[in-house]
């Protein structure tokens, strides 16, 4: 495999077209006898890999707020309104899972997937007729 071919593979990694593992397989599989580790190390120094968010669905805005609303069903008034930045909520959830056993069963990956998909919207809506309350938890 020529040096140009190796550089093309590394450029594909930098462009996000293939994973680093796939590139390693291509480089090792196609050039096991002629691999030049020093040349590869030098090429890696010059390639900058950055993560960019995936294209967003919906309105193109990534949800940034985790919101909780508790409304009185009789009066229609809002009893509780809590707005938490999503990243802070996610961090708090991870920390809380260490100290509160009931949080360990919570699957935060569902929230992460909604944010990654750019899907704002209702996560949970509960109507408690006994206490005349409506609880809404959503991403916005």
The 10s digit of each residue's pLDDT in 107-139 is 667 767 766 676 778 877 888 888 888 888 888
Instruction: Answer yes or no: are the C-beta atoms of 106 and 90 closer than 8 Å.
Output: no
Q: Which helix (H) or strand (E) holds 138?
A: strand 133-139
Neighbouring CB atoms inside 10 A of 120's CB total 19
Q: Are strands 78-85 and 133-139 parallel, antiparallel or unpaired?
A: unpaired
Looking at residues 11-30, what average pLDDT do you find? Answer: 77
Q: How far apart are CA 6 and CA 32, in angstroms?
A: 12
Give the pLDDT band (50/70/90) at residue 33: very low
pLDDT digits (tens, 9 = 90+) for 78-116: 999 999 887 787 777 777 777 777 667 766 677 677 666
Alpha carbons within 13 A on the beta-carbon side of 126:
10
Answer yes or no: pTM beyond 0.75.
no
Helix extents (H) in 2-139:
3-14, 20-30, 37-46, 86-99, 108-117
Identify the three-state secondary structure at position 64. Answer: coil
> Which sequence spans correspond to the domains of the chain?
3-46, 65-139
Q: Which two tokens stand for residue 97?
A: 């899972």
pLDDT digits (tens, 9 = 90+) for 35-69: 456 665 665 565 554 544 444 444 556 778 888 89
At 32 the pLDDT is: 43
Spatial CB neighbours of 115, under 8 Å, sequence gap ≥ 6: 62, 63, 86, 139
């Amino acid at each position: 495999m020529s040096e140009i071919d190796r550089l093309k593979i590394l450029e594909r990694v930098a462009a996000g077209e293939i994973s680093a593992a796939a590139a390693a397989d291509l480089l090792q599989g196609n050039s096991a006898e002629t691999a030049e580790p020093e040349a590869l190390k030098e090429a890696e120094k010059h390639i900058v890999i950055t993560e960019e968010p995936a294209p967003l669905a919906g309105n193109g805005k990534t949800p940034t707020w985790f919101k909780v609303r508790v409304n009185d069903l009789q009066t229609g008034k809002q009893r509780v309104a809590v707005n938490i930045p999503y990243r802070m909520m996610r961090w708090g959830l991870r920390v809380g899972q260490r100290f509160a056993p009931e949080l360990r069963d919570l699957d935060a990956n569902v929230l992460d997937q909604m944010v990654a998909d750019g899907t704002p919207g209702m996560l949970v809506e509960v109507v408690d007729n006994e206490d005349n309350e409506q609880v809404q938890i959503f991403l916005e």
